[in-house]
Amino acid sequence: MLEIKESDGFWQKLDQLVTTSNLIIDRPQGTIHPHYPISIYPFDYGYLEGTKAGEEDRVDVCEQ
């Protein structure tokens, strides 16, 4: 797993993070939000497999 600390320059290493992780789409475009049914995802939404962000969540992504 690629570890990026805040001092490493997250945005400079983002391309490497994206190219080394599988993109998992868990809420396809048009999906209704599970907690807010009035909200519909306008894009595919998911996460990068094998990543961790704040509070142990995965790194979220949306894809147009």
| Helix and strand counts by DSSP (H, E) for the chain | 1, 3
Confidence of residue 31 (pLDDT cuts 50, 70, 90): very high
Backbone φ, ψ for residue 12 (5° rounding): -70, -25
Question: Which region holds residue 19: left if phi is over 0, alpha if psi is between -120 and 50, else beta?
Answer: alpha
Q: How many CB atoms lie within 10 A of CB 48?
A: 19
**Domain ranges, ordered by start, for the chain:** 6-63
* pTM given for the model: 0.70
Out of 5-14, 24-33, 44-53, 54-63, which region has the weakest mean confidence (pLDDT)?
Answer: 5-14
